[in-house]
């Protein structure tokens, strides 16, 4: 009897020991400390399960740990893109989007998710997908059905009737209206609550006209201050952050005064808007590289002529004004508008930020600690520190000297699992 009891205890112990996660030790010649903007040499990151337990120089590696030796590579935290449309594609800027079914769009999103993850972006914020396709994809990734980055999703963006995020491609007789259309404070609150009901992590608001829509002017505001206050205060009360698509000066100012968490694009930001954003500590999420790609590839994706004409005016103007905002010290978080150009090219945004006056370290911070702060995930992602998710990337070369090294990510880990 004593022998049987002993055997049972040994089996129980073996099962318990087997259930304990194996320690993983990731070694690399260098690691970027994104907070200080310096390199840590002879880096070691210790991981248990999905989380980092320790990180630093020449840390002792526990006996029995699984060692991943990356040689002469440089480690960084997984990158964050705070402005994507993961279920979209460049050709959707034209009429071809009309022919895509919801299942087809969602499957395109699954492809884009893997491409984005393998490019080193382990966390994204999706700010606008009709029919809740981004929320469905987020849930599939969280459940392990498909690979992809961590996603904070918005679902259908809020828009006035005929605004930038309404459907302006169909003829009147089709009576087509986008799912997120809401006019007046009461209706806007109702749509905000409906998006949250169906799983939105963030509420996206189209506060001004846009480039890739018909019949509107990016410089003009669309929602009133009262409508914006109703949306934003309700979203905040229900524990969600807010993001405002805003090219024009008045739309930027109204959104900031209403308490929005981030301004997306900010193409026509002026001195007053810069002052307000600094006072309110509102993040600006520029999306600049897309200007190069979109104009160069307009013919290939069959971009309608009225939209191309707007792009040729707005996008170069944005670089001038956002350069002023950067120099003035407006808080910046990294965003790309990926879908306007192909997913996976997200890191090309870094070089544009550096051209506008940022140091490489500052540009990298926009996609790490700054973006994590904007998302409300500073305790989860954005730096290589104990307690954070083990989301890591590795590159050849020195990103603190040349941010273009981030365009060629060689190795990716998400939550302690190597995915590239």
* Set 27, 204, 310, 414: catalytic member: 204
* Set 241, 337, 391, 414: catalytic member: 337
Q: Is 337 a catalytic residue?
A: yes
Q: Is 305 a catalytic residue?
A: no
Q: What is the 3-state secondary structure (H, E, C) of the chain?
A: CHHHHHHHHHHHHHHHHHHCCCEEEEEEEEEEECCCCEEEEEEEEEEECCEEEEEEECCCCCCCCEEEECCCCEEEECEEEEEECCCCCHHHHCHHHHHCCHHHHHHHHHHHHHHHHHCCEEEEEECCCHHHHHHHHHHHHHCCCCCCCEEEECCCCEECCCCCCCCCCCCHHHCCCCCCECCCHHHHHHHHHHHHHCCCCEEEEECECCCCCCCCCCCCECCCHHHHHHHHHHHHHCCCEEEEEECCHHHHHHHHHCCCCEEEECCCCCHHHHHHHHHHCCEEECCCCHHHHHHHCCCCCCCCHHHHHHHHHHHHHHHHHHHHHHHHCCCECCCCCECCCCCCCHHHHHHHHHHCCCCHHHHHHHCCHHHHHHHCCCCCCCCCCCCCECCEEEECCCCCCCHHHHHCCCEEEECCEECC
Catalytic residues: 204, 337
């Amino acid at each position: 009897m004593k022998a049987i009891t002993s055997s049972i205890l040994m089996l129980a112990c073996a099962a318990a020991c087997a259930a304990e996660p194996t320690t993983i030790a990731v070694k690399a010649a260098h690691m970027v400390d994104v907070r200080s903007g310096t390199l840590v040499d002879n880096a070691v990151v210790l991981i248990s399960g999905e989380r980092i337990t320790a990180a630093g120089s020449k840390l002792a590696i526990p006996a029995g740990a699984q060692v991943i030796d990356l040689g002469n590579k440089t480690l960084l935290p997984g990158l964050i893109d705070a402005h994507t449309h993961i279920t979209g594609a460049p050709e959707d800027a034209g009429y071809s989007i009309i022919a895509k079914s919801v299942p087809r769009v969602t499957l395109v999103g699954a492809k884009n998710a893997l491409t984005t993850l393998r490019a080193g972006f382990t966390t994204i914020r999706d700010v606008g997908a009709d029919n809740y396709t981004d929320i469905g994809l987020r849930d599939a990734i969280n459940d392990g059905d498909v690979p992809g980055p961590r996603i904070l999703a918005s679902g259908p963006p809020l828009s006035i009737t005929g605004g930038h995020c309404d459907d302006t491609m169909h003829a009147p007789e089709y009576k087509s209206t986008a799912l997120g259309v809401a006019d007046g404070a009461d209706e806007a609150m109702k749509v905000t609550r409906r998006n949250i009901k169906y799983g939105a992590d963030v509420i996206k608001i189209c506060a001004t006209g846009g480039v890739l829509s018909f019949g509107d002017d990016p410089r003009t505001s669309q929602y009133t201050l009262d409508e914006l206050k109703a949306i934003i205060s309700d979203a905040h009360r229900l524990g969600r952050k807010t993001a405002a698509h805003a090219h024009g000066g008045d739309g930027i100012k109204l959104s900031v005064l209403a308490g929005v968490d981030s301004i997306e694009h900010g193409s026509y930001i002026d001195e007053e808007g810069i002052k307000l954003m600094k006072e309110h500590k509102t993040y600006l999420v520029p999306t600049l590289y897309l200007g190069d790609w979109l104009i160069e590839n307009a013919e290939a994706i069959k971009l309608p002529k009225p939209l191309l004409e707007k792009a040729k005016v707005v996008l170069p103007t944005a670089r001038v004004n956002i350069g002023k905002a950067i120099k003035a010290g407006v808080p910046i978080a990294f965003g790309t508008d990926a879908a306007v150009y192909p997913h996976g090219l997200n890191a090309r945004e870094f070089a544009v930020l550096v051209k506008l006056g940022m140091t490489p370290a500052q540009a990298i911070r926009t996609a790490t600690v700054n973006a994590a702060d904007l998302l409300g995930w500073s305790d989860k992602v954005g730096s290589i520190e104990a307690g954070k998710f083990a989301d890591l990337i590795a590159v050849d070369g020195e990103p603190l000297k040349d941010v273009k090294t981030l365009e060629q990510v060689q190795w990716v880990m998400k939550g302690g699992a190597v995915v590239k």
